[in-house]
Amino acid sequence: PAMKLSKIGSVALVWMVILGMSSASANVFGKDDRVEMNGKGYPWSAIGRIDLDNNWCTATLIGIDLILTAAHCVLDETGRQRPDLEFMPNYRDGEYKKKAKLTEIWVGSHQPLVDVEQDWAIARISKPLGRRFGTIAVAASDASPSLENHSVTLAGYSMDFWYGNTAGVQDNCAITGVLGARLMHDCDSRPGASGAALFVRTGKNGGLRVVAVNSAERFEDVTTRRLPRPG
């Protein structure tokens, strides 16, 4: 699949937008495999929520003062940065310990609903919350693992899971198909999980690497290239 290489500071980032393949009523595949993100420790501490006017999105600390989310979460209908957005890491049971304002953003597209494959955003926040809550590294272009051979994990604040007050976490999801530069996964998720990072464990020590951004659900029946589920 096509990938976009961006550079913010000294960090080289590969962005692949991930879309879930949805059923007609919900993006949940058979039994709901999500569990509550109850842990205070890493990596869950690095995952948090961004509240919008009438809903919310998920974001992940990828640097001491940088978060990763979806572009449509931080842009308004005109393509401008939404005002007064705040990131709340380790948001659980509707509560959080710290929050920080989004001060500046970099986006893949200012029309993310049209350029779906570029629906990603990096935002700088007003406080170095990564020092306290931890960060999840982003896979570099020459080290990005083959998603055909790895299971992925998604943690997002889906509206259908505890009303988004606690994130739902699903391990061992699979990449199920390819549609152009977009990938489909079978992680259970709903709106509110937009912007959530998909990550894998790599290397002997099981280090975490962000490999993609959760962008949207896919309802239409189209032809895709199927990938084998990882063993």
Residue 179 predicted with pLDDT over 50: yes
d(CA 21, CA 177): 9
Share of the chain above pLDDT 90, in %: 36
| Contact between 95 and 132 (Cβ < 8 Å) | no
Question: Which whole number is the average pLDDT over 92-112?
Answer: 93
* Residue 159 in this model has a pLDDT that exceeds 50: yes
| pLDDT above 50 for 226 | no
Q: What is the 3-state secondary structure (H, E, C) of the chain?
A: CCCEEEEECCEEEEECEEEEECCCCCCCCCCCCCEECCCCCCCHHHEEEEECCCCEEEEEEEECCEEEECHHHHECCCCCECCCCEEEECCECCECCCCEEEEEEEECCCCCCCCHHHCCEEEEECCCCHHHHCCCEECCCCCCCCCCCCCEEEEECCCCCHHHCCCEEEEEECEEEEECCEEEECCCCCCCCCCCEEEEEECCCCEEEEEEEEEEEECCCCCCEECCCCC
- What is the per-residue pLDDT for 35? 83
| Among 92-96, 158-162, 182-186, the range of highest mean pLDDT | 92-96
Closest CA to 190 of 172, 222, 213, 214: 214
Highest mean pLDDT among 33-47, 88-102, 112-126, 140-154: 88-102
> What does the pLDDT average to over 101-117?
90
Res 15: pLDDT: 45
pLDDT of 38-96, one tens digit each?
Answer: 878 899 999 999 999 888 999 999 999 999 999 999 999 899 999 999 999 999 999 99
pLDDT at 5: 34
pTM of the model: 0.81
